[in-house]
Each structure stands twice: as structure tokens, then as C-alpha cells.
Structure 1
């Protein structure tokens, strides 16, 4: 097991395959169908890039993710908790993850997940209306968004403006086909980049193929 340049994220080589892992915040428990690896007293969870856009971005050599141990993270589009659980591993006991989703069924899954992961709080809310949950969330070090809606960028910027600390990091996973199925993804990615640069400092961006087709991850900082 080796450390990576990102605190709290580890890697291993299996043949030609590079595998990312995080320290399991709840030892002995899986969140999805991930493999568990033990090295000495530490248990690691294997991170599946085909199920996590953040993992895919790291494997595509994104130069920064902005998430580190002790951070407070607002995760928009938490779904049933696959990537949020790895973010929970990374931020550890000194950090915290607000996991927000609009679908009651997946928030129910998050509630079960949060019973063991005490650094994760599920929130049932519409990310397009951040004013409706502003009283339940503190300012945060990182905003992460993975929501497949036509106005993804607008939703992202609203939440960054309201919750992100000065100089905080913001990560946006864009699904091109959710914005406009008639345009080439490359055109949509360029349009999103221009919108982001009006309000944020753009750090890096990567397409996520072959792990996630027609997706791009943008890494920004608050100006």
C-alpha cells in the first residue's frame, strides 16, 4: 500500500491496474460491493472508478481534489452513498460530510449508512433551492456536486456562493447528456468551463472516460 499526493487516499498496483483505496471509517463494513484489504491493523476499502466520478478523476490524473482529513464537505447528489462514503473515509473523525439528495428512497439508504458513519449527515432537500436547507448546514471547506440536471452549473454556483468558505474548493461532475443530448459533449464542457470561470478560479478539469462516458470533472476554488 502506498500513499498518493492526496491525503487520505492510497494506491496499490495489481498487475497493470492501479487501484485506489481509502481507510475504512467503519472497520469490517462494506458500503457497496467493494473489496476490503487489511494491512496490519488498518483496513482499506477499494474504490471503484466505474461507480465513482471522483475516483475516476483521480485515476485520470486530476491535479487537485481539495478534500483532505478534517474538512467539512457539502455533497450534492449523494445518492445511496457510494462516493460520499469514501469522502467520509478521507475526512475522518475530525471532518464531516453533509450528504444531500432529493430522492427519499436514496436518502433512506444514507440514513442507514450514517448510523455507523457518525461523520455523515443525510439531508432530504432540493439542491436547486439552497435557501430551504441553509439553516441545517454550516459553511464548508468543499462543495462537491454530482447532479444530472439541465441547470447543473447554476445549481452548483448557487450552493458555492451560499456555503463555500473563502478560498474553499468546489468539485463539479458534469454529465453532458443531461444538459443537451443534441450537442457534442466537448461543446457542452467548453460552455460549462466559461460559465465557471466567470465566478470561480478554475484549477483543473478532466474527461472521465473510459470510466464514465460523456462526463467531465471540474475543480474550482472560490475567488
Structure 2
């Protein structure tokens, strides 16, 4: 099974073509650009470059997996809208996954894990994992309000993991293989994907003028 994987929930613009064999994802091509202001500009070129490098055309794809956050409104909607457009145009399923889960599965620890990413406003998005399963979150808090324990290690944003007194796993953003690994069971079973729901966790910074007057 050939899967297109994209994520724009973090400052990294991520795209990749992944071959899923059983539960094992193998990345055929990937592009990652860390630029919080370039999601709309580079995502589609990244996708086209990955298809070319993998030696496939869009019609060869069997599914799309997209990170649904948590993430800032503007960046997150770019990846989700692009994934939905590819799925609609090709008539293939689009599976949404929690972007923090993709970081956690890439860290692949036996220890309890805390994953944090930049939520701006001096806050972090976070979730806890035990035995590879998310047991708390995703939520958004100030770092000072988030207890490191009972987690035994941390992964995620390089600018935020050092705020916590935990051993750091060097996985900063979702990878194409990590995204597909989270969706592997659903992809393998042929299950109908749930509707894509963005995990904003708070109101967007930009609001309509009419809403400001309320």
C-alpha cells in the first residue's frame, strides 16, 4: 500500500511517500522544511517532489494520512485542506491522526513518555504515553503548569523539551513514517476514516470583525 503522509501542525512542513507492508511503514521519499511561515508555499511542491523521487504518480496512491494537530490554526489548516483535496481528487481515503502520536511512535520507548510541541503564547501542546498508548491529552498549558512526572522521558519541540527535567528523545516533529504508523491498523483493515477534525484546542487568533463585537 502506498500512502501520502503530510503534517503542518508544527513549524515543520512535512510530506512523504510511504509504503506500508503489514504494520511496517517504509519511507520512499520525504521532505521536511522547518519554517512556520512557509506551510502554504512549500507543502504542495514537497508532495510533488516526493512523488517524483519515489517513482510514482498520484494515481498510484492508495490513501492519505494527515496530522490533525494539535497546532496553530493557520498552519494546521494548510495540511488538512491539502490532504483532503488530494483524497477527493484521487478518490482515496484520508485518515487523520494526532500529530503528537506520530512523534511518540517514532520515539518508540518502553518508558512513559511526555510529548510537547510549540503552542505559541508561551504555551505547549502536550500528551502523555504509557506502553506506546496515549493516556492523557492532547491539551495546551503553560510549561510551568505541566508536571513532568509520571513521565520518564520527553520528546518534541527542541525549544521546549529542555524546560522539563526529563531525559530527551531526539524526535522533534512528526515524520511521514510516524504518521503512517499511527494509522497502520485503520489502513490495513480498510476501515472507513472518520471525518477530519482539526485539534486547535483553543480559538484561533484571527476572528471575524462581527465576532469581535460580541
| TMscore range, shorter length | under 0.3
Superposition TM-score, scaled by structure 2 size: 0.26
Superposition TM-score, scaled by structure 1 size: 0.25
